[in-house]
A and B are shown apart, each in its own frame.
Chain A
Amino acid sequence: MEPDRTGGTMKKLAGADGPVGLYVHVPFCERKCAYCDFYSLENHGGIDAFPDLITREIALYADDRDPARVRTLYYGGGTPSVLSVDQLRVLQDAFRHSFRIEPDAEITIEVNPGTVDPASLAAYRSLGFNRLSIGVQSFDPGALAFLGRIHSADDARRCIRDARDAGFANLSIDLIYAVPGQTDASWYATLDEAIALRPEHISAYSLIVEEDTPLYVQVREGNVTPHTDPREAALYEGTMARLSAAGYDHYEVSNYARPGCRSRHNSSYWDHAPYLGFGPSAHSFVASSAEGPALRWSNVRSLQGWSGMIEKGERPVSQEEVLSGQEVFDEGIFLGLRANGLDRARVERLSGIRFTGRQHQTLADLVGAGLAVEEEGRFRLTPAGFVICDEICARLLVP
Chain B
Amino acid sequence: MDHIRNFCIIAHIDHGKSTIADRLLERTGTITAREMKFNQVLDDMDLEQERGITIKLHAIQMQYRAKNSEMYTLNLIDTPGHVDFSYEVSRSLAACEGALLVVDASQGVEAQTISNLYLAIDAGLEIIPVINKIDLPSAMVESVKHQIKDLIGCKDEDILLASAKADLGIEDILEAVVKRIHPPQGDPEAPLRALIFDSVFDVYRGSIVYLRVVDGTLREGDKIMFFHHGRSFEAEEVGCLEMKRTRTGSITAGGVGYLIAGIKDVHDTKVGDTITSAVRPAPAPLPGYKDVKPMVFSGMYPTNAEDFEDLRASIEKLQLNDSSLIYEPETSTALGFGFRCGFLGLLHMEIVQERLEREYNQNIINTVPNVEYRVTKTNGEVVLVDNPSYMPQLGVIEKVEEPFIRAQIIVPTEYVGNIMKLCTERRGVYKNTTYLDPTRVDLHYEMPLSEIIFDFYDKLKSTSRGYASFDYEFLDFRESDLVKLDILLNGESVDAFSTIVHRDKAHEWGKKLCVKLRKLIPRQMFEVAIQAAIGSKIVARETISAMRKNVLAKCYGGDISRKRKLLEKQKEGKKRMKQVGRVEIPQEAFLAVLSMEDE
Tell me the A residues contacting B by CB distance below 8 Å.
Answer: 23, 38, 76, 205-206, 208, 229-230, 232-233, 236, 252-254, 269-270, 275, 277, 282-285, 296, 298, 321, 327, 330-331, 334-335, 338, 358, 365-366, 369, 371, 386-395, 397-398
The 13 listed contacts between A and B (C-beta, < 8 Å) are A236-B549, A269-B557, A283-B557, A283-B558, A283-B559, A284-B558, A285-B558, A285-B560, A321-B561, A331-B560, A358-B579, A391-B524, A394-B567
Bound-state CA distance A233–B584 (Å) is 23
Which of B250-258, B468-476, B570-578 makes up part of the contact surface?
Answer: B570-578
Does B118 sit within 8 A of A, measured CB to CB? Answer: no
Tell me the B residues contacting A by CB distance below 8 Å.
Answer: 524-526, 546-555, 557-561, 563-564, 566-568, 570-571, 573-575, 579, 582, 584
B558→A23 contact, CB < 8 A:
yes
CB-CB under 8 A for A298 and B548, given A330-B567, A397-B567: no
Residue in A358, A369, A389 whose CB lies within 8 Å of B551: A389
Bound-state CA distance A76–B558 (Å) is 11
CB-CB under 8 A for A369 and B555, given A388-B549, A388-B550: no
Bound-state CA distance A372–B315 (Å) is 45
B549→A233 contact, CB < 8 A:
yes
Q: Within 8 Å CB of A390, what residues of B?
A: 550-552, 566-567, 570
Bound-state CA distance A369–B561 (Å) is 30
Bound-state CA distance A366–B546 (Å) is 13
Q: With CB as the reference atom, state the residue of chain A lying closest to B526.
A: A369
Q: Within 8 Å CB of A393, what residues of B?
A: 567, 570
CB distance from A270 to the nearest CB of B (A): 7
CB distance from B394 to the nearest CB of A (A): 32
Q: Within 8 Å CB of A252, what residues of B?
A: 555
Q: Within 8 Å CB of A335, what residues of B?
A: 555, 560
Q: Within 8 Å CB of A369, what residues of B?
A: 525-526
Bound-state CA distance A338–B567 (Å) is 12
Bound-state CA distance A371–B568 (Å) is 21
A275→B574 contact, CB < 8 A:
no
Bound-state CA distance A365–B525 (Å) is 10
Q: With CB as the reference atom, state the residue of chain A lying closest to B571.
A: A397
Bound-state CA distance A338–B582 (Å) is 22
A229→B553 contact, CB < 8 A:
no
CB-CB under 8 A for A394 and B549, given A284-B558, A371-B525: no
CB distance from B306 to the nearest CB of A (A): 12
Bound-state CA distance A76–B554 (Å) is 15
B554→A205 contact, CB < 8 A:
yes
Q: Within 8 Å CB of B571, what residues of A?
A: 330, 394, 397-398
Bound-state CA distance A233–B579 (Å) is 26
CB distance from A264 to the nearest CB of B (A): 14
Q: Within 8 Å CB of B525, what residues of A?
A: 366, 369, 371, 388, 391-392, 395
CB distance from A34 to the nearest CB of B (A): 16
B564→A330 contact, CB < 8 A:
yes
CB distance from A392 to the nearest CB of B (A): 6
CB distance from B153 to the nearest CB of A (A): 68
Q: Within 8 Å CB of A397, what residues of B?
A: 567-568, 570-571, 574
CB distance from A80 to the nearest CB of B (A): 13
User: Can you list the 9 inter-chain pairs with the closest CB atoms, starting with the nearest?
Assistant: A394-B570, A283-B558, A233-B549, A389-B551, A397-B571, A391-B550, A229-B549, A205-B553, A206-B553
B558→A269 contact, CB < 8 A:
yes
CB distance from B204 to the nearest CB of A (A): 42
CB distance from B556 to the nearest CB of A (A): 8
Residue in A205, A270, A298, A388 whose CB lies within 8 Å of B547: A388
Q: With CB as the reference atom, state the residue of chain B lying closest to A176.
A: B553
Q: Within 8 Å CB of B564, what residues of A?
A: 327, 330-331, 334
Q: Within 8 Å CB of B567, what residues of A?
A: 330, 334, 390, 393-394, 397
Residue in B546, B552, B559, B568 whose CB lies within 8 Å of A298: B559
A269→B555 contact, CB < 8 A:
yes
A270→B574 contact, CB < 8 A:
no
Bound-state CA distance A284–B561 (Å) is 11
Bound-state CA distance A277–B560 (Å) is 13
Q: With CB as the reference atom, state the residue of chain B lying closest to A296.
A: B561
B555→A253 contact, CB < 8 A:
yes
Bound-state CA distance A397–B567 (Å) is 8
Q: With CB as the reference atom, state the residue of chain B lying closest to A232.
A: B549
Q: Within 8 Å CB of B526, what residues of A?
A: 365, 369
Q: Within 8 Å CB of B555, what residues of A?
A: 252-253, 269-270, 335, 338
CB distance from A278 to the nearest CB of B (A): 12
